[in-house]
Amino acid sequence: MSTVVHPPFPARYRVAFEWLGKIPGELTDYSVTTSFHQIRAVVSTTDEIIVNGDTERQMMIEHFGASADRISIIPNAVGQRFFDATPALFDEKFGIAHPFVVCSASVSSLKNQLTIAKALEDADINIVLVGNCHKQYESYLEECKSVAGDKLHYLGAFDFDDPVLPSLSEVMPFAMLECLAAGTPTIVTRHQSVDLAQQPNLFEEIDPHDISGLREMTERFVAKPASVEACRDFVASFTWENVATQIRDVYRRIKPDL
């Protein structure tokens, strides 16, 4: 469900969507329905639902009518190549002065890069943005640049010191797992479904609107980051082999003769 349902999803959203969804339904004899009602219909008929974490699981139960015993939590994973990565190639190609933070996400108000620019505008920390910027967000990118000045480096999209992802909403961002696997301490929005215990200067969550809190946390991470080994050990169990095994077990519960 992660591609269509993102936290936070408070009760007022459910109430609003329930009422708004009735309008196209009643006007078209329910030949046209909203995505909210479509998700509810799927949830009511499916044998099993796979979600990324407990936050997403609670959303399914409280707002979409799912039964707790039909929900399996299976997190995303990270490829082995990230555990073997080093910063040498990045440093050689771009030559950006340390310390710097990286935000790996498409440029948009949802991903909240402007908050990073505001939080670090007076800090001695460079900001590196990596990701697509669609035409409708070019003015947003320019605003980020005007706030942060020359220390903001937009590198565009490509296939990572300290990453920051203070999005207004995430589910279980791959960039977070990839950065930790590469040995990099990570700050992520608290509006996501990651079931990981916070570890000081290694993995911490932030309110996406807390500019001063983000600055304090980032400066602390930069001053005394967790070790490469500690970051990698933190996500060592998030392998695609483990994910595949868990998904196979779900299918076998539904259809034992598979």
Other C-beta atoms within 10 Å of 258: how many?
8
Residue 134 maps to which CATH number?
3.40.50.2000
214 and 86 fall within a common domain: yes
Answer whether 166's CB lies under 8 Å from 214's CB. Answer: yes
Helix axis angle for 54-64 and 11-27, nearest 10°, is 50
The CA distance from 65 to 59, in Å, is: 9
- Consecutive 10-residue averages of pLDDT for the chain (258 residues): 58 79 81 84 91 87 91 91 92 94 91 95 95 94 97 83 51 80 92 82 93 96 95 94 94 87
112 and 208 fall within a common domain: yes
At residue 191's C-alpha, the angle toward residues 186 and 195, to 5°, is 65
72 and 123 fall within a common domain: no
Other C-beta atoms within 10 Å of 140: how many?
17
Q: How many domains does the chain have?
A: 2
42 and 151 fall within a common domain: no
The CA distance from 133 to 78, in Å, is: 24
Structural domain including 249 reads 1-77+239-258
257 and 194 fall within a common domain: no
DSSP string for the chain: -TTT--S---HHHHHHHHHHHHHHHHHTTTSS--HHHHHHHHHHH-S-EEESSHHHHHHHHHHH---GGGEEE------HHHHT--SHHHHHHH-PPSSEEEEES-SSTTTTHHHHHHHTTTSS-EEEEES---GGGHHHHHHHHHHHGGGEEE-------EEEE--S--SS-HHHHHHHHTT--EEEESSS------BTTTEEEE-TT-HHHHHHHHHHHHHSPPPHHHHHHHTTT--HHHHHHHHHHHHHHH-TT-
72 and 138 fall within a common domain: no
Q: What is the pTM of this model?
A: 0.79
153 and 50 fall within a common domain: no
Q: How far is CA 31 from CA 34, 39, 46, 170, 194, in A?
A: 10, 15, 21, 31, 37
144 and 54 fall within a common domain: no
Q: What pLDDT, on the 0 to 100 scale, is given for residue 23?
A: 84
174 and 193 fall within a common domain: yes
6 and 70 fall within a common domain: yes
57 and 100 fall within a common domain: no
227 and 243 fall within a common domain: no
Q: What pLDDT, on the 0 to 100 scale, is given for residue 162?
A: 45
